Amino acid sequence: MADLPPSTQSALAVPPVAAKVTAVAEQADLKENPRKRVRTDSDDNGESDEGNRTNGATVVAAAQGSVVPTLAPLSAAPGAGGAAPPASSFPPLSASQASVPTLGAVQMQSHALTHSITAFSAASGLEPTLFGNCNVDDALRIVTDLILRYINQSNLEIEAKFGLLLDKQTGQRIRLPVVSETVISPSDASWMRFESNMPAEWHKRINERLNKRVEETQKPNHKGHRVGFKRVLERDRFYQEDGVRTRVTFDWDGNNIVPGGIMWKERLADLNMHLPMCPFDFRISINTEEPASMPSSQWTHERKKNRATYKHQHCKVDLTLVTSQDVANTTHELELELWDVAALKREHGRHLRKERNSFAELVRVFLDNARVLARLP
């Protein structure tokens, strides 16, 4: 860490048991695809959101315009300064990219899968409903529909990014006549855009909460799954050849390519979730990350990533400081990934064979983790 700038050294705290946690994670069944050690953000698409960029203060103002209470300023991390950096922009999607499948076989599958979730009511002796099955929230069914549409794709990536849904005209957080979680219809989302950045003080607070959780799960009396921790210091360089944009990930010094670090990414679909009672909204994205060959051209721009990764069961959380050379700013990003897509595919196969399976449970845990993270700051 000695070669890092002071702001980078201090901005992301490491839990005291990080070394022990890493060893635990490696020995446990938290198998990680080495090609997926590199995550991308909105800059991966090489586009700007109509040239519209906002800074961290704008994001805070947008949040204050909603029902979310204003946060008292937190003391800045040593050497990090106190200013919130500019927010990264996210390109809008076409209707075809963001469309949700119409009623059909996919929805019939998701209906069967989500209704396979049973309630635990032994303590009260109550049945969940008069029909004996659980009521499944619409958001879970919609997310399940989206994943089922692409479950047979190879090199699939399922992630959620956290930020704010902003009105393109006002730059403020969207205001809808709802008071709880709402799935935004992709066909009616052209007037809003998603900002995946957050104020520095929120980033710091989430870092502290996640580190605390790592500590809690390492205690001898902890009965559940432990939270694994890993620090990743890398830099991405982007190349443009024959209309194809390739990302190559190097170590922090930029001398060596990390294993599986050459790839190109294709976005398949996005789904925006508005949470008016929470500090964050989030966007669920379905992508593919295809292995690629090393480009022969010169790279066009570079991003340095200082990342803390927290892994729990089939999901992992990436808390990242991203410094972009081409725009000379730092963004504070939070992402959740359902990293064990292989397990999801196996459970889907069991469903097709009419065997007991955990497909819907895996999707539910991913969605619930996103909901919990949206409430953290």
Whether pLDDT at 205 is above 50: yes
Q: What is the mean pLDDT of the chain?
A: 77
Confidence of residue 113 (pLDDT cuts 50, 70, 90): low
pLDDT at 130: 85
- Digit-coded pLDDT (tens) for 12-57: 777 776 655 444 444 443 344 443 433 333 444 433 333 333 444 4
pLDDT at 297: 92
Whether pLDDT at 1 is above 50: no
pLDDT, greater one: 237 or 20:
237
User: Once rounded to an integer, what is the mean pLDDT over residues 82-101?
Assistant: 37
DSSP collapsed to 3 states, the chain: CCCCCHHHHHHCCCCCCHHHHHHHHHHCCCCCCHHHHCCCCHHHHCCCCCCCCEEHHHHHHHHHCCCCCCCCCCCCCCCCCCCCCEECCCCCCCHHHHCCCCCCHHHHHHHHHHCCCCCCCCCCCCCCCCCCCCCCCHHHHHHHHHHHHHCCCCCEEEEEEEEEEEECCCCCECCCCCCCCEECCHHHCCCEEEECCCCHHHHHHHHHHHHHHHHHHCCCCCCCCCCEEEEEEEEEEEEEECCEEEEEEEECCCCCEEEEEEEEEEEEEEEEEECCCCCCEEEEEEEEEEECCCCCCCCCEEEEEEEEEEEECCEEEEEEEEEECCCCEEEEEEEEEECCHHHHHHHHHHHHCCCCCCHHHHHHHHHHHHHHHHCCC
User: Once rounded to an integer, what is the mean pLDDT over residues 202-220?
Assistant: 95
pLDDT at 108: 58
Confidence of residue 88 (pLDDT cuts 50, 70, 90): very low
Range scoring the smallest mean pLDDT among 26-30, 54-58, 69-73, 88-92: 69-73
| Residues facing 329 on adjacent strands | 324
List the structure tokens of 148: 């089922």
Whether pLDDT at 259 is above 80: yes
Q: Percent of the chain, pLDDT > 70?
A: 68
- Digit-coded pLDDT (tens) for 139-152: 999 999 999 999 99
Whether pLDDT at 187 is above 60: yes
Q: For residue 169, give Cα distances in angstroms to 40, 52, 190, 247.
A: 27, 11, 11, 32
User: Once rounded to an integer, what is the mean pLDDT over residues 66-80?
Assistant: 31
* CB contact at 8 A, 229 and 214: yes
Domains of the chain: 6-72+83-374 (3.20.100.10)
Q: For residue 77, give Cα distances in angstroms to 211, 214, 252.
A: 15, 20, 22
Answering whether pTM is above 0.75, one says no
